[in-house]
Chain A
Amino acid sequence: MTTTNHSLKIEHLSVSIADQRILKDINLTIPGRKITCIIGPSGCGKSTFLKSLNRMHDENPDARVSGRILLNNNDIYDRDMDVTGIRKTMGLLAQHPCPLPMSVFDNVAYGPRIHGTARKKDIAGVVEHHLKLAGLWDEVMNKLHTPASKLSLGQQQRLCLARGLATGPEYILGDEATSSLDPISTKKIEELFIRLKEEYTIILVTHILRQARRLADYVVFMYLGEIIEAGPADSFFTDPQRQLTKDYIAGSFS
């Protein structure tokens, strides 16, 4: 694993989809090797923000993105930037676990195979390593070649995490990654995030305040496509500056 500093800066980011402005002039610096939680009511643009970090808006012909996202001082929206490289760096964990139509093993091997990052004889080791990293190895070591869709939802989500990690990202983007899971699976994933932040910069979108309190080192509160307040978790939760933030934390709206 590299020890370079993770530097991610968002400058004047605006996104509109089908002429509707979803994100308005977002400016933010994401602290490296920490967990940043993005909170806010549904429809505030959290997921749209996350999608702009790995350029998934490229797949939507109705989406327009302006502004800059500087990854180690290179704008990822620069014409010369290689999208597949960015997506490799930004591992996305989607809201619903979505295993690829292949075996458990092949799911984890998918990234290394398409990127050619592991030699054929090393693949098995890579798969094992990342399944262990995602805390799934013990549960699936005897069914590596069964279809991934046979696993439980919680296992599937950890499989997706292992699959993402095997691609070799520096960032993990979680889009309400635990919202379709049971409490025990949720706890497992949360523990993983805490363990993984030593090596990865983790950005989590969540609408569960308690989850943000449990995990976040840094909190960003969004409302109607704008950042209302952002700061270190301690001060954010104990001493919010804006009235809107106070109301949200107090649970006056959600």
Chain B
Amino acid sequence: MRIMTIPGIFLLAAAGLVLFIKAFPVLKDNGLWKLLSSGSWKPSAGEFGFLPFIVSTLWVSAIAILIALPLSILSSIYLSSYASETIRRIFRPVIDLLSGIPPVIYGVWGTLTIVPFIAGNIAPALGSGSSGYSILAGGIVLAVMIIPLLTGLLAEIFRSIPSGMTEASLSLGATRWQTVKRVMLRRAFPGIAAVTVMALSRALGETMAVLMVCGNRIGIPKSAIDAGYPLPALIANNYGEMLSVPGYESALMFAALVLFAIVFFFSGISRIILNRLEKRFQY
């Protein structure tokens, strides 16, 4: 069976290698540190500072996870241990359907509802102006996109908890909520962590929906209602014209490499944390 993982590893290495080769010219001209830490983006002058894009990507993904995770945990707990069989039967296909909707539709929905809402309600409430096309809009749309994914996976994790374990807690006179809090969440913790990283990777890489609502203005966003420009949006928006400016192609390939590295980094970190957790929570 182990041999079957070789194609997967090979693909991963090949993708990384190709990106690296393509990104090499811009790396050679600017140096890694300057590319990552500079905020100046002037392709025609040969200046490629990726910091605004990296910051935007991390902001949008963090907001998405912060919104999506608590909601998903609560709704999956409801579905797995409170909801009646009828409700479950209705919601399971709905959740599957929601996770299958193309991102562009979420993007359109975001521009029609979330963006005006931020411009008209949230920004004035914070005492500042915003077009609505912002990091926050991107985070909210992304959250709505990953909630079905998270909820479905988490409900599966909660359902996999042996019924004897929850019954043991209930038969000791614990209420359902006490059982959820003290037994189910504890038992499911490594699973929740793993699923969260999966959702995070999805959020980091999501392109279309984010591109449509984030504003795509180059500059380090100062607040959540500022416009931002995440890495995937940068690549998608400029892919068509990259050949017209020298070094631009290589720069976009570097953007892809950075995205690749970020996702890789988070998966790696999570793997380490998960191993620790599983040791601590091996009950």
Which residue of B84, B173, B182 contacts A167 across the interface (Cβ within 8 Å)?
Answer: B173
Task: Give Cα A179 to B172, complex, Å.
Answer: 21
Q: Cβ of A33 < 8 Å from any Cβ of B?
A: no
Contacts of B171 in A (CB 8 A): 54, 56, 87, 90-92, 94
Check A87–B283 contact: CB distance below 8 A.
no
Task: Give Cα A100 to B84, complex, Å.
Answer: 25
A243 to chain B, nearest CB (A): 37
Interface string of B259-282 (1 = CB under 8 A from A): 000000000000000000000011
Check A100–B85 contact: CB distance below 8 A.
no
CB-CB nearest in chain A for B85: A61
Q: Which of under 10, 10 to 19, 20 to 34, or 35 or more describes the interface residues of A?
A: 20 to 34
Which B residues from 160 to 176 make CB contacts under 8 A with A?
Answer: 162, 164-165, 167-175
Check A111–B165 contact: CB distance below 8 A.
no
Q: Cβ of B224 < 8 Å from any Cβ of A?
A: no
Check A102–B186 contact: CB distance below 8 A.
yes
Contacts of A149 in B (CB 8 A): 282-283
Q: Which of under 10, 10 to 19, 20 to 34, or 35 or more describes the interface residues of B?
A: 20 to 34
Check A100–B165 contact: CB distance below 8 A.
yes
Q: Cβ of A125 < 8 Å from any Cβ of B?
A: no
Contacts of A91 in B (CB 8 A): 171-172
Contacts of A87 in B (CB 8 A): 170-173
Contacts of B175 in A (CB 8 A): 84
Contacts of B282 in A (CB 8 A): 147, 149
Check B172–A110 contact: CB distance below 8 A.
yes
Check A147–B165 contact: CB distance below 8 A.
no
Which residue of B167, B281, B283 contacts A94 across the interface (Cβ within 8 Å)?
Answer: B167
Q: Cβ of A183 < 8 Å from any Cβ of B?
A: no
Check A111–B186 contact: CB distance below 8 A.
no
List the count of A-B residue pairs having beta carbons below 8 Å apart.
71
Contacts of A43 in B (CB 8 A): none
Task: Give Cα A94 to B169, complex, Å.
Answer: 11
Interface string of A129-151 (1 = CB under 8 A from B): 00000000000000000011100
Interface string of A59-96 (1 = CB under 8 A from B): 10100000000000000000000001111101110101
Interface string of B75-87 (1 = CB under 8 A from A): 0000000001100
Contacts of B162 in A (CB 8 A): 98
CB-CB nearest in chain B for A147: B283
Which residue of A84, A90, A98 contacts B168 across the interface (Cβ within 8 Å)?
Answer: A98
Task: Give Cα A147 to B85, complex, Å.
Answer: 34
Check A94–B168 contact: CB distance below 8 A.
yes
Q: Cβ of A40 < 8 Å from any Cβ of B?
A: no
Interface centre among B171, B175, B281, B282 (most CB of A within 10 A): B171
CB-CB nearest in chain A for B174: A114
Check B173–A100 contact: CB distance below 8 A.
no
Q: Cβ of B183 < 8 Å from any Cβ of A?
A: yes
Interface string of A93-132 (1 = CB under 8 A from B): 0101011111000000011001100000000000000000
Check B172–A114 contact: CB distance below 8 A.
yes
Contacts of B186 in A (CB 8 A): 101-102
Binding site for B on A (CB under 8 A): 54, 56, 59, 61, 84-88, 90-92, 94, 96, 98-102, 110-111, 114-115, 147-149, 160, 163-164, 167
Identify 22 residue pairs between A and B in the complex whose beta-carbon atoms are under 8 Å apart, listed by A's number.
A56-B170, A61-B85, A84-B173, A84-B174, A85-B173, A87-B172, A87-B173, A88-B173, A94-B167, A94-B168, A94-B171, A98-B164, A99-B283, A100-B165, A101-B165, A101-B186, A101-B281, A102-B283, A147-B282, A149-B282, A149-B283, A167-B172
Q: Given A101-B187, A114-B174, A115-B173, 12 other A-B contacts at CB below 8 A?
A: A56-B171, A61-B84, A84-B174, A98-B162, A98-B165, A98-B168, A100-B168, A100-B283, A101-B283, A102-B186, A114-B173, A148-B283
Binding site for A on B (CB under 8 A): 84-85, 162, 164-165, 167-175, 178, 182-183, 186-187, 281-283
